[in-house]
Amino acid sequence: MGNSYNRLDKNNALVALVDHQAGLLSLVRDFEPDRFKNNVLALADLAKYFKLPTILTTSFEDGPNGPLVPELKQIFPDAPYIARPGQINAWDNEDFVKAVKQTGRKQLIIAGVVTEVCVAFPVLSALEEGFEVFVVTDASGTFNEVTREAAWSRMAEAGAQLMSWFAIACELHRDWRNDVEGLGTLFSNHIPDYRNLFTAYTAIKASK
């Protein structure tokens, strides 16, 4: 990829949410639980806002990993939903790979639990198959900062780009003039400080 700046393109990107399951979420210790869940739902909301094809997958959900976070099913009732019977790496599951490739898109935005396994393994596999991969750092969680840093450097060295959900939303949007209200509302719903800013903006605009 060299030093070229390949921007996220809403017409060429898809989102994969890997193993955001009730049981696995309880393992996440590198983010506060409420903040982490908010980040995951923010990513889901931006995927819906930009109309990005979204794929949900779970691992061994009958076991201790537990069911998918219910809000994700509500946000994406019609999305491909692949319950993997055992494969730890989602990319080892044919249905998952088929769902990714059927979108026809080459920019994979991915997040999951836990970072060094459920995210890193499919990231490395997708890079190997020529996808551009964008890891949503704050919607992926794991046991502690040490394992997270190791996973991040492993993925980055392989060519993945590490971004926050907020940065991803801004890069997809490109220009505020495309839709101030829509994106501003999405940010306000997930960032308390942004809500204050946006409330002030709306009040000023209304008074003009």
Residues annotated as catalytic (active site), given as ranges: 118
How many other β-carbons are positioned within 10 Å of the β-carbon of residue 200?
A: 10
Provide CB contacts within 8 A for 54, sequence distance 6+: 14, 15, 16, 17, 44, 47, 48, 76, 79
How many other β-carbons are positioned within 10 Å of the β-carbon of residue 191?
A: 15
Residue 188 CA to residue 170 CA, distance in Å, equals 14
